[in-house]
Amino acid sequence: MPISYNKFSVQVHLDRIRDNYLLLRGKAANPIGVIKSDAYGHGLIPVARTLAAAGADTMAVGTVGEAIRLRKSGFDGRIIALLGALDKDEACSCHIGNITPFVFSLEHLQLLSDAAGDAPLPVALKFDTGMARLGFTEDDIPALLQALPALRGIRPALVASHLAVSDAPDQEDFTREQHDRFLRIVHALRDAGHPVQATIANSAGLLAYPEMHHDLQRPGIALYGANPLHGTAHQAMGSGLLAAMDVSTPVLQVHDLPKGRSISYGRTFVAQHDMRVAIVAAGYADAYSRGLSNKGVVVINEHRAPVVGRVCMQMTAVDVTNIPAVSSGDAAWLLGGPAADPVTPEELAAAWGTITYEVFCLLGLSPKSHTGA
């Protein structure tokens, strides 16, 4: 009988993304869909369609390139490009596609003004209140207010900033300092006659700081079902979110590993007793990080199987000694899996030595299938 294998597969459950969005909308009045970087690896267009069908009228994408893709897909709501228009072509694209760029310098405002058409383009003024990354600062406001009247063809529609530690309740003071600075900036712009909408809350800000909701909230990670407050005193504020990405791959072969025998490159694992191992078809070429060597865990037949030895390019060995009747072709879940005891994004990220965001972005680089639309 020919063996029929499952394939390495990344499955995205759009119904869970919809449920997460609705859960967030129960907590905040106007969450937008942050879908930058291919919707954190979940698929830009399918996720945008799902959120739009659930009532989201604004999406924030990473680049003008993503914004154009989204506009061409038929989305007719507001599109915000978080990196902004970085050159003349992108500035023109913003005008043509009615894309709202984040803008972090006077040079970029000028670029957008020079590309202006008839209708004024709404732009989002990006302020640095504590990330020390991109943005105008509070000190730039006088020069900005002086420059704006001469910049034809653009209209400041939003004022935005980003929180550095909203996911860390023990650093609440810093978050409050950022917010105070943000309030002063918003008031300065409004007092000068610019009726801007204000936005500062990411997922953790939305969940933990209702007073920072302002006009729109910008959840990303929570839409995909990871709790940004996991492992903190505020963990319960993010309960009920459903992880939307499952990754599975077939078992290729199962064999004994007698006591004293080593496995895989570098012989980093030696069996301390007679074992049985399964070789599964995933490795660092599939973005299953080599950092998971001797640390990761997969789920096979509803049981947990720890990674033994080094993760290879296309294969990984796992301990199935205590799992009955594992055979080639069985599904091994690298992320997600059976509802009773899935591999959670948080535990995979912890074993990997990173955050759920990176786990999603990297595993989501593989081809994906979408269900639950």
Q: For residue 126, indicate whether it is catalytic.
A: no
| Minimal distance, residue 359 CB to ligand PLP, in Å | 13
DSSP 136: B
CA distances from 154 to 99, 136, 157, 324 (A): 12, 17, 9, 66
Q: Read off the amino acid at residue 167.
A: D
Q: Give the nearest residue (CB) to ligand PLP.
A: 220
Please report where in the chains the tokens 């012989």 appear, as a residue.
267
Stretch that binds ligand PLP, among 42-50, 174-182, 214-222, 315-323 (CB under 6 A): 214-222
Binding-site member from 203, 293, 344, 356 for ligand PLP (CB under 6 A): 203
Write out the two tokens for 88.
């003349």
Count Cβ atoms below 10 Å from residue 21 Cβ, excluding itself.
23
| Minimal distance, residue 182 CB to ligand PLP, in Å | 13
> By CB neighbour count within 10 A (0-12 exposed, 13-18 middle, 19+ buried), where does 250 fall?
buried
- Contact between 349 and ligand PLP per CB under 6 A: no
Of 221 and 277, nearer to ligand PLP (C-beta) is 221
Three-state DSSP class for 345?
helix
Q: Read off the amino acid at residue 148.
A: L
Binding-site member from 135, 219, 238, 337 for ligand PLP (CB under 6 A): 219
| Minimal distance, residue 165 CB to ligand PLP, in Å | 11
Of 263 and 363, nearer to ligand PLP (C-beta) is 363
Of 128 and 286, nearer to ligand PLP (C-beta) is 128
Of all residues in the chain, what percent are helix, strand and coil, respectively (each to 5)? Answer: 35, 25, 40
DSSP 284: G
Write out the two tokens for 159.
């004022």
Give the angle subtended at the CA of 129 by the CAs of 124 and 133, to the nearest 5°: 80
Binding-site member from 31, 46, 101, 220 for ligand PLP (CB under 6 A): 220
Give the angle subtended at the CA of 127 by the CAs of 124 and 128, to the nearest 5°: 150
| Minimal distance, residue 53 CB to ligand PLP, in Å | 21
Site map for ligand PLP, 152-191, x if CB under 6 A? ----------x-----------------------------
| Minimal distance, residue 63 CB to ligand PLP, in Å | 11
Q: For residue 357, indicate whether it is catalytic.
A: no
Of 164 and 297, nearer to ligand PLP (C-beta) is 164
Binding-site member from 175, 202, 227, 289 for ligand PLP (CB under 6 A): 202
**Nearest CA among 73, 31, 372 for reference residue 215:** 31
Instruction: Indicate which residue of 72, 88, 259, 265 is catalytic.
Output: 265
- Contact between 218 and ligand PLP per CB under 6 A: yes
Report the interhelical angle of 106-114 vs 88-97 (nearest 10°). 60
- Contact between 78 and ligand PLP per CB under 6 A: no
Which residues would be at the binding site for ligand PLP (CB under 6 A)?
Answer: 34, 36, 82, 162, 202-203, 218-222, 228
Catalytic residues: 36, 265
